[in-house]
Amino acid sequence: MNTTTFRTAVVRTPSGPDSIEIIDVPVVEPGPGEVRVDIAAAPVHPVDLGVAGGRFHEMGLVHQPHHTGLGWEFAGTVATAGRGVDLAAGTRVAGMVDGFDRDFGSYAEQIVVPVASLAVVPDALDLIVASTVPLNGLAAAQITDLLGDAPEEGNRLLVTGAAGSVGGFVVSLAQDRGWNVTGLARAEDEEFVRSLGADFATHVEPGWDAVADGAVMQEQGLALVRDGGAFVGVQPAAKPASERGIIIDVVVAVPDGAQLGDLLPRAATGELSARVHEVVPLDRVADAHRAVAKGGVRGRYVLKP
């Protein structure tokens, strides 16, 4: 095994799945407060399809001179800990990296990250399943923080895309904050959404106290909020314009090891539903992207480097 380089999936000229390449890049030693993680699992996320398709390059958000990395979340084991880090080699961890403008991401055999962005994975949680929690679990927790505790009057929350990854987590977390949740999803998702303790709908009328927009309905989602209600979107680059006194927020998920450390045990007990559709080798990353692009996938495609 070559120990001076490792494999990672990147795009040089992004133009969809066929433009994804696997290349060798030099191993990096962790600095103070950092950890090098041997990655066991890295999910394919909708945002990765946008990067591979050049959407964020076109928006001027990527400035990489050679290649752009893919993958925002991972689970694996600690390989080496930098100075000041108290994590033994072999410790099972999960985490996320944020931002589009990176030379490589979690679609890789290893990654160096600040220890503050990591959380230890409970023994009862498989690393494959754990890898699906960081990005969307943190996004959902941070959406729920933006919504805050439900007011006593006006606690009806509609979660769009409630059978999706972000939406499903919001459905669970928002009920803990007192929201009376209805999940908007496809007809075939009714059993799943109800299993999370929410009401279920495939079509709704306007008048909701709050909408959390996991399905990226944007202005259509905003139109469902009552005057003076609240809307939380998931597309930072496309925040809907304010109207009718509605408080509009957009989540930008940020790494937070402490918050992740609260979410992973809840995934281990099943309180949070972290779903895996299929595990595929890193070499088949383009196939996984093509499958996700078709839509209708429930649970994550997870890459195994």
Ligand X SMILES: NC(=O)c1ccc[n+]([C@@H]2O[C@H](COP(=O)([O-])OP(=O)(O)OC[C@H]3O[C@@H](n4cnc5c(N)ncnc54)[C@H](OP(=O)(O)O)[C@@H]3O)[C@@H](O)[C@H]2O)c1
**How many residues bind to ligand X according to rule CB under 6 A?**
26
Exposed, middle or buried by CB within 10 Å (0-12, 13-18, 19+), for 297? middle
**Which among 39-47, 61-69, 239-247, 279-287 is the span making contact with ligand X, rule CB under 6 A?**
39-47
Contact residue for ligand X among 94, 127, 150, 253 (CB under 6 A): 253
Rounded to a whole number of angstroms, the minimum distance from the CB of residue 220 to ligand X is 8
Q: Is 190 in the site for ligand X (CB under 6 A)?
A: no
- Taking alpha carbons only, the member of 225, 182, 217 closest to residue 200 is 182
Rounded to a whole number of angstroms, the minimum distance from the CB of residue 8 to ligand X is 21
Q: Is 46 in the site for ligand X (CB under 6 A)?
A: yes
Rounded to a whole number of angstroms, the minimum distance from the CB of residue 249 to ligand X is 11
Mask: binding to ligand X, 131-160, rule CB under 6 A, as x and -? ----xx--x---------------------
Q: Is 251 in the site for ligand X (CB under 6 A)?
A: yes
Rounded to a whole number of angstroms, the minimum distance from the CB of residue 219 to ligand X is 13
> Using an 8 Å Cβ cutoff, are 102 and 3 in contact?
no
Q: Is 245 in the site for ligand X (CB under 6 A)?
A: no
Q: Which residue is nearest to ligand X (CB)?
A: 164
Q: Which long-range contacts (CB under 8 A, 24 or more apart) does 290-294 make?
A: 290/17, 292/44, 292/46, 292/49, 293/17, 293/49
**Whose Cβ is closer to ligand X: residue 36's or residue 45's?**
45
Q: Is 229 in the site for ligand X (CB under 6 A)?
A: no
Q: Distance between CA atoms of 206 and 294, rounded to whole angstroms?
A: 29
Q: Distance between CA atoms of 92 and 146, rounded to whole angstroms?
A: 30
**Which among 106-114, 125-133, 147-155, 249-257 is the span making contact with ligand X, rule CB under 6 A?**
249-257
Rounded to a whole number of angstroms, the minimum distance from the CB of residue 274 to ligand X is 11
Q: Distance between CA atoms of 94 and 115, rounded to whole angstroms?
A: 10
Q: Is 268 in the site for ligand X (CB under 6 A)?
A: no
Q: Which long-range contacts (CB under 8 A, 24 or more apart) does 264-270 make?
A: 264/94, 264/119, 264/120, 264/121, 264/122, 264/125, 264/130, 264/133, 264/137, 265/122, 265/125, 266/172, 267/125, 267/129, 267/130, 267/133, 267/137, 268/122, 268/124, 268/125, 269/124
- Taking alpha carbons only, the member of 240, 235, 174, 241 closest to residue 209 is 174
Contact residue for ligand X among 234, 274, 288, 302 (CB under 6 A): 234
Contact residue for ligand X among 164, 229, 257, 305 (CB under 6 A): 164
Q: Is 161 in the site for ligand X (CB under 6 A)?
A: yes
Tokens read off for 25 = 């890049």
Q: Which residues bind ligand X (CB under 6 A)?
A: 45-47, 135-136, 139, 161, 163-167, 184-186, 214-217, 234, 236, 251-253, 295-296
